[in-house]
Amino acid sequence: MRTLAAASGSEGVCVGIAPHSLRAVPPDLLARAVEGLRQLDAEAPVHIHIAEQEREVADCLAWSGQRPVDWLFDHAPVDRRWCLVHATHMTPDETARLAASGAVAGLCPTTEANLGDGLFPAVAYFGAGGRWGIGSDSHVSIDPVEELRWLEYGQRLIHHRRNLLQRTDDPSTGASLWRHAAAGGAEVLGFAAGRLETGARADLLVLDMDAPALAGRAGDTLLDALIFAANASLIRHVMVGGRWVVRDGRHPREDETLSRFRTAIREIAEEKDGR
């Protein structure tokens, strides 16, 4: 906690904890970590992986007699400051419980698909007013567009219908996905972000309006095209915290970073081959 306290005053830094899962952290240590964090900052976020795989659910039943999500709600002060990552395998009662808590479900569709974990019960959860965000988790993919596309398409494959995750107050499926993901993501990061208003962080994406996929699009249909019709990046500029970090599709340290990455991968490969 001393390290967290030292970092909490840094500009652009939000301090929180991420005990990996009920499999990795003993119950007493989880309780102590959460209590210590609350003493440091009552609003700090807590992220935990939960109910990602069926085996995890079975193991949790074996040692506790409860499924993971039910156990967590019965033994930890879960509220809007918590992010339950994956939460793939929930009963209807657990789904309703998570939605009513105000906590955010941290969904990672590309990782869940890559690992064959399963599909989050998004239709029921969204219908109950549950809050959510997206993440890349294993970094198999780090594309938010792909995460949102997988999220919607996975539900279509289960339910054999289209446009399942749009809200009644938001007729554009793409815009609805983007706005709710941005709001949930900002909440669990602890930043005033994810929206365009006075006092919020200036985190902005500028689309490449010369891209064919965006031709003739305007308003919310731009987000529909971005998520469902783009097979290449349509992001031209990126602003983070009021500073431009990508201009015309390039980061100023892109060449240096790419060179270091290639060197690191080559060294890993050479070390592996030498064993």
- Catalytic, out of 70, 137, 203, 224: 137
pLDDT at 232: 87
CA distance to 51, 75, 85, per residue, from 23 (Å): 10, 15, 14
Q: Catalytic site residue 59?
A: no
Helix (H, G, I), strand (E, B) or coil at 92: helix
pLDDT at 4: 59
- Name beta bridge partners: 132: 105
Residues 6+ apart with CB under 8 A from 62: none
- pTM of the predicted structure, to 2 decimals: 0.90
pLDDT at 275: 61
Q: 2, exposed or middle or buried, with CB in 10 Å at 0-12, 13-18, 19+? A: exposed
CA 46-51-56 angle, to 5 degrees, is 120
Dihedral of CA 27/42/239/167: which sign?
positive
Helix spans in 88-197 (H)? 92-101, 109-114, 122-127, 144-159, 173-189
pLDDT tier at 7 (50, 70, 90 boundaries)? Answer: low
For the chain, what percent of residues have pLDDT higher than 90?
84
What's domain 2-197's superfamily in CATH?
Answer: Metal-dependent hydrolases (3.20.20.140)
Domain 202-275 = CATH 3.30.300.30: no
- Catalytic, out of 47, 49, 70, 86: 86
Which sequence spans correspond to the domains of the chain? 2-197, 202-275
Dihedral of CA 230/231/237/240: which sign?
positive
Q: How far apart are CA 117 and CA 171, in angstroms?
A: 30
pLDDT tens per residue across span 46-65: 999 999 999 999 999 999 99
pLDDT tens per residue across span 217-248: 999 999 999 999 988 899 999 999 999 999 99
Q: Catalytic site residue 86?
A: yes
Q: Is the pLDDT score of 86 beyond 90?
A: yes
pLDDT tens per residue across span 18-43: 999 999 999 999 999 999 999 988 99
